[in-house]
Amino acid sequence: MAKARRVSTDEYFQYPETTRRMELVYGAVREPPAPRWGHQTVVTRLTALLEPHVRDRDLGRVCVSPVDVVLDLERALVVQPDIVFISAERMSIVRERVFGAPDLTIEVLSLGTGLHDRTIKLDWYRTYGVRESWLVDASRRQVDVIDLATRGEPRSTFEKDDRIRSTVLGDLPIIVSSIFE
pLDDT at position 96, please?
92
Residue 99: predicted pLDDT: 98
The residue among 145, 155, 9 whose CA lies nearest residue 85 is: 145
100 in any annotated domain: yes
- Model confidence pLDDT, tens digit, residues 78-129: 999 999 999 999 999 999 999 999 999 999 998 878 888 888 999 999 999 9
Residue 115 counted as domain residue: yes
Q: Is residue 127 part of a domain?
A: yes
Q: Are 68 and 9 in contact (CB under 8 A)?
A: no
The β-bridge relationship of strands 77-79 and 69-72 is antiparallel
* Contact between residue 175 and residue 163 where contact means Cβ atoms under 8 Å apart: yes
Regions in the chain scoring below 50 on pLDDT: 1
Nearest Cα to 125, choosing from 114, 134, 137? 134
Q: What is the pLDDT of residue 4?
A: 65
Per-residue pLDDT at 108:
96
- Give the pLDDT of residue 130: 97
Residue 58's Cβ-count burial label (10 Å; 0-12, 13-18, 19+) is: exposed
The pLDDT score that the predictor gives to residue 123 is 94
For residue 84, give the nearest of 60, 100, 102 by alpha carbon: 102
**CATH code of the domain in which 49 resides:** 3.90.1570.10
Can you give the pLDDT at residue 176? 97
How many angstroms separate the Cα of 117 from the Cα of each of 3, 61, 90, 112, 134?
25, 22, 24, 10, 10
Cis peptide upstream of residue 66 (ω within 30 degrees of 0):
yes
CA within 13 Å, CB half, 41: 8
Task: Report the predicted TM-score, pTM, of the whole model to 2 decimal places.
Answer: 0.91
* Closest among 71, 35, 45 to 148, alpha carbons compared: 71
Note down the domain range covering 165: 36-65+79-179
In a domain, residue 128? The reply is yes
pLDDT score recorded for residue 180: 93
pLDDT attached to residue 3: 61
CB 113 within 8 A of CB 34: no
Total domains, the chain: 1
- Residue 45 lies inside a defined structural domain of this protein: yes
The alpha carbons of the chain give a radius of gyration, in whole angstroms, of 16
Residue 167 lies in a domain: yes
